[in-house]
Amino acid sequence: MALLKLTPLSTLLFPSSPSLNSASIESHLADLGVVAPQWRYTMYSQSHFHSTTHELLVISSGRARLLFGGDGNPEGVQLEVQKGDAMLLPAGVAHRLLQDLSGPGGAFEMVGSYPAGAKQWDMCYGDGRAGEDHAAIERRIKSLNWFTRDPLYGETGPALQI
């Protein structure tokens, strides 16, 4: 497992469990009840982050190169991920798809999940566009509590150690 220092909390990368498919990922997460699976899709190619919730992304098919920390961030990190990998992103960590590496006939897809009972996720870009109030975004991020149970492992797990 890799720990990335991108915010006061750290992004967690959980290594592959390649035998998982979308349905089994969603079933496992629903059984634990820490996060609620909400969508199956690729990652947007534009850097974005969420200020209203943390996010769990589990790769359900393909491979990709992703950027965490935002474009132009000297502390940003590029990672190659593949089916079975999971990433737990604290609110405020920018992320985007750099390249789908799945090859012919493949497609990069993730199961996106958010804490059970959390507010609807928002889309922030950090580029000064109309409607983005930096101070309000920062307040929302700082007001969020971290997990009391690990979204992938339940009562114990690495998410509880940061």
Domains of the chain: 2-128+138-145 (2.60.120.10)
Write down the mean pLDDT value for the chain. Answer: 87
Which residues of the chain are under the pLDDT cut of 50?
1-6, 8
Helix (H/G/I), strand (E/B), else coil: 30: helix
pLDDT of residue 9: 54
pTM: 0.89
Residue 112 near residue 50, CB atoms below 8 Å: no
pLDDT at 162: 78
Question: In one letter, which amino acid is 60?
Answer: S
2-4 vs 77-82, strand pairing mode: unpaired
The CB-side HSE value for 37 (13 A sphere, CA atoms) comes to 20
Whether 91 contacts 52, CB under 8 Å:
yes
